[in-house]
């Protein structure tokens, strides 16, 4: 049973440059070791969430021999993978489930003042997207990379009432 999914449409370079200053949050820095003749050789990978807290969010992943270089690469990669998020006041327009690999994230709209009820990875994505009131539940794998991609998958598929009416050819 395969689900047909549209590919995530990222913002083009011109739109991303118009956004100006973006905030970043480092989610995970991972160290890997390669054993060589003289000992261990370490490499680092970094997962970063990038957003403007006003409806635009993205994720970046960078690898390098040193931590600062990995973080810089992750931030640059995050600027290339930005998506625009549909919001309704401080929450989301409707319930949706995003998935990537073995991770699934259910996003449920909440009343004003509820806050973000989510784990660390999903919370970082939602905060940088500018969503303030939402309930979430993560299913399956809790790998931070897959959870971030699953959350962004769900957010990118959100639609407003007006967009749905246009797609269906119905008047509200």
The overall average pLDDT reported for the chain is 90
Q: Quick one: pLDDT band at residue 161, thresholds 50, 70, 90?
A: confident
Cα–Cα distance measured from residue 157 to residue 7, given in angstroms and rounded to the nearest whole number = 10
**Across 52-102, where does the E strand assignment appear?**
56-64, 82-84, 96-100
What is the reported pTM?
0.88
Say if residue 90 is exposed, middle or buried (CB neighbours under 10 Å; 0-12, 13-18, 19+): middle
By DSSP bridging, strand 103-109 and strand 116-117 are unpaired
Contact 118, 95 (CB under 8 A): no
pLDDT at 6 over 90: no
pLDDT at 3 over 60: no
Which of 49, 111, 39, 112 is CA-nearest to residue 83? 49
Which of 172, 167, 170, 121 is CA-nearest to residue 6? 167
Using DSSP, how many helices (H) and how many strands (E) does the chain show?
Answer: 5, 8
How many residues can be counted in the chain? 172
Report the pLDDT value the prediction gives residue 172, as an integer from 0 to 100. 74
């Amino acid at each position: 049973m395969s689900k047909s999914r549209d590919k995530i449409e990222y913002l083009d370079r011109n739109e991303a440059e118009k956004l100006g200053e973006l905030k970043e949050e480092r989610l995970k820095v991972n160290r890997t070791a390669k054993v060589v003749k003289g000992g261990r050789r370490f490499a680092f990978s970094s997962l970063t969430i990038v957003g403007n807290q006003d409806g635009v969010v993205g994720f970046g992943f960078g690898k390098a021999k040193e931590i600062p270089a990995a973080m810089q690469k992750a931030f640059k990669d995050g600027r290339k993978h930005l998506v625009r998020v549909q919001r309704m006041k401080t929450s989301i327009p409707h319930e949706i489930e995003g998935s990537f690999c073995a991770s699934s994230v259910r996003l449920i709209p909440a009343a004003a003042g509820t806050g973000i009820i989510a784990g660390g990875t999903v919370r970082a994505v939602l905060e940088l997207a500018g969503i303030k009131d939402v309930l979430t539940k993560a299913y399956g794998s809790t790998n931070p990379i897959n959870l971030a991609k699953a959350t962004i998958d769900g957010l990118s598929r959100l639609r407003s009432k007006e967009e749905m009416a246009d797609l269906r050819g119905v008047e509200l």
